[in-house]
Amino acid sequence: MIQLYYFPTPNGHKITIFLEETKLDYKIHPIDILKGDQFESEFLKISPNNKIPAIVDTEPKDGEGPLSLFESGAILRYLAQKTERFYPQRIREAWEVEQWLTWQVAHFGPMLGQNHHFNIYAPEQLPYAKERYTRETSRLYSVLNNRLRDRDFVAGTYSIADMAIYPWAISWERQKQDLSMYPYVADYLNLIGSRPTVKKAYEIGQQYRRVDTNQMKPEEWQTLFGNKIAEK
Ligand SMILES: N[C@@H](CCC(=O)N[C@@H](CS)C(=O)NCC(=O)O)C(=O)O
């Protein structure tokens, strides 16, 4: 059984997509990051960087007791290895997945996260920051669009790299992007978004969505962006 520590955000959706795709047995433990659950000591033992997602696999293949993991990229790789699904066997194809997954966790996620921050959440309007991250987001969408010009998925066949990219790219409107500039990305979003398993993952997310994150209360803003240091 996979114990999933989760909130319905892009990084959270990556894992519910994988779990729904593979029908692995899992249980969700909601971590309300607006309330500050991510700073609770029990959660920090699993996720020392105080972020969701995190998992505990109660039955890892080595049989040596529960195994906990944080960081969405590591979790996706682990689950792909455990199930032997959505990760190619052949070495060249496997490294295509590795490159695009790394691209997502190192660039696409963090830059789009800053885009959300300065365009939506920042308490003051900072034109330089808004422009910098909106422009960088556009550059990354161009990279993705070029990659998808002659293939349906970033590594050829549907993989954990696509499961990592989709939940971020689906918010192109919030990121002040014009999707008509990226027609291959538009097709990609339709293709992945029409999968029943992906729809199911988002339906599950709805059950845990507590507030409209566009309208956070001051104390919620403080919890999420107030630079709180996790205490043990
Ligand atoms: N690099 C991490 C990023 C995870 C992350 O940023 N999670 C956010 C939600 S999408 C979070 O838990 N934020 C809570 C906080 O910053 O206190 C990953 O890919 O798992």
The span from the CA of 73 to the CA of 200, in Å, is: 21
Q: Is residue 155 part of a domain?
A: yes
Find out whether the beta carbon of 230 lies less than 6 Å from any atom of ligand 1.
Answer: no
Domain count, the chain: 2
Q: Which amino acid is at 81?
A: Q
Task: Give the residue, by CA position, lying nearest to ligand 1 atom 1.
Answer: 71
Q: Give the CA distances from residue 29 to residues 9, 53, 94, 108, in Å, rounded to whole numbers and listed in that order.
A: 14, 10, 31, 26
Q: Is residue 60 part of a domain?
A: yes
Atom of ligand 1 minimally distant from the CA of 70: 20
- In the reported structure, the alpha carbon of residue 117 is separated from the centroid of ligand 1 by a whole-number distance in angstroms of 13
What's the pLDDT at 213? 64
Q: Is residue 124 part of a domain?
A: yes
45 and 95 housed in the same domain: no
18 and 81 housed in the same domain: yes
Residue range(s) defining the domain that contains residue 188: 91-194
Find out whether the beta carbon of 8 lies less than 6 Å from any atom of ligand 1.
Answer: no
Find out whether the beta carbon of 9 lies less than 6 Å from any atom of ligand 1.
Answer: yes
Q: Is residue 232 part of a domain?
A: no
Find out whether the beta carbon of 11 lies less than 6 Å from any atom of ligand 1.
Answer: yes
Of the candidates 38, 7, 156, the one whose C-alpha atom is nearest the C-alpha of residue 86 is: 156
Q: Is residue 230 part of a domain?
A: no
Look up the CATH number of the domain holding residue 67: 3.40.30.10
Per-residue pLDDT of the chain (232 residues; tens, 9 = 90+): 999 999 999 999 999 999 999 999 999 999 999 999 999 999 999 999 999 999 999 999 999 999 999 999 999 999 999 999 999 999 999 999 999 999 999 999 999 999 999 999 999 999 999 999 999 999 999 999 999 999 999 999 999 999 999 999 999 999 999 999 999 999 999 999 999 999 999 999 999 987 666 678 888 888 999 877 666 5
**In a mutational test of the pocket of ligand 1, which residue from 46, 49, 50, 52 has the highest number of ligand atoms less than 8 Å from its CB?**
52
The span from the CA of 13 to the CA of 28, in Å, is: 12
- In the reported structure, the alpha carbon of residue 7 is separated from the centroid of ligand 1 by a whole-number distance in angstroms of 10
The span from the CA of 12 to the CA of 33, in Å, is: 11
